[in-house]
A and B are shown apart, each in its own frame.
Chain A
Amino acid sequence: DTGVSQNPRHKITKRGQNVTFRCDPISEHNRLYWYRQTLGQGPEFLTYFQNEAQLEKSRLLSDRFSAERPKGSFSTLEIQRTEQGDSAMYLCASSLRAGYTDTQYFGPGTRLTVL
């Protein structure tokens, strides 16, 4: 049983460039989440999918951010016109909508540095 995978693990980009991250959830997990974590803080929720439907978006997700889960499997998070404030760890998690706990299992994250 493979866990959540994220690619790339590290991304360095220049201000103003676009970047895209990919998340592959645990197979058969129908819920997928994106969080952002800055240094010294706990993760903050960005958005959440159930199958291919994006059901909730945080106000943190500005117009420059877009997330997709086209076939209800993997997901991509794109940041357009990156800013230095976008530098953070981007974490993906997945869960199975069944049972009581609906525990979210996290991937290793993508660390973004904007120069």
Chain B
Amino acid sequence: AQKITQTQPGMFVQEKEAVTLDCTYDTSDPSYGLFWYKQPSSGEMIFLIYQGSYDQQNATEGRYSLNFQKARKSANLVISASQLGDSAMYFCAMRGPQGAQKLVFGQGTRLTINP
């Protein structure tokens, strides 16, 4: 069975600093996808970044990058130059191989950016 673990319930960071949110995963499938979503207090899940298990390079999307370490089964999200608007819940999720479409989510990390 697939499992996502996010060990940081809460993180507090000063504005403009970089922050790393941890995510480890467990799967026996060689093909899988890893996603990060942001959930502000309004409740909507906002897609941030995707990493495929066969991707050779770490994914990047603007200020977001994914530190993918396959051997360690980790997929940490790095946010550079944090902004006040980055304060939210962040969820790591995994999708299995083709044919298994559901996402399995971790418990999330609440990020608070201090001015």
Contacts and interface: CB of A to CB of B under 8 A. Distances in A.
Interface string B24-52: 00000000010101000011111100101
A56 B101 CA distance: 9
Given A33-B102, A45-B102, A108 B93 contact: no
A110 to B, nearest CB: 10
Interface residues of B, number: 23
A100 B52 contact: yes
A30 to B, nearest CB: 11
Given A42-B107, A42-B108, A100-B52, A48 B44 contact: no
B52 A106 contact: no
A48 B107 contact: no
A41 interface: yes
A106 B44 contact: yes
Contact of B43 (A89, A93, A95): A89
Interface string B77-93: 00000000000000101
A93 B37 CA distance: 12
A36 to B, nearest CB: 11
A16 B45 CA distance: 30
Nearest to B91: A42
Nearest to B42: A108
Top 5 A-B pairs ranked by shortest CB distance?
A: A42-B105, A106-B45, A45-B102, A108-B44, A109-B43
Given A35-B103, A102-B33, 11 more contacts: A41-B107, A41-B108, A42-B105, A43-B91, A44-B105, A45-B103, A45-B104, A95-B101, A103-B35, A108-B42, A109-B44
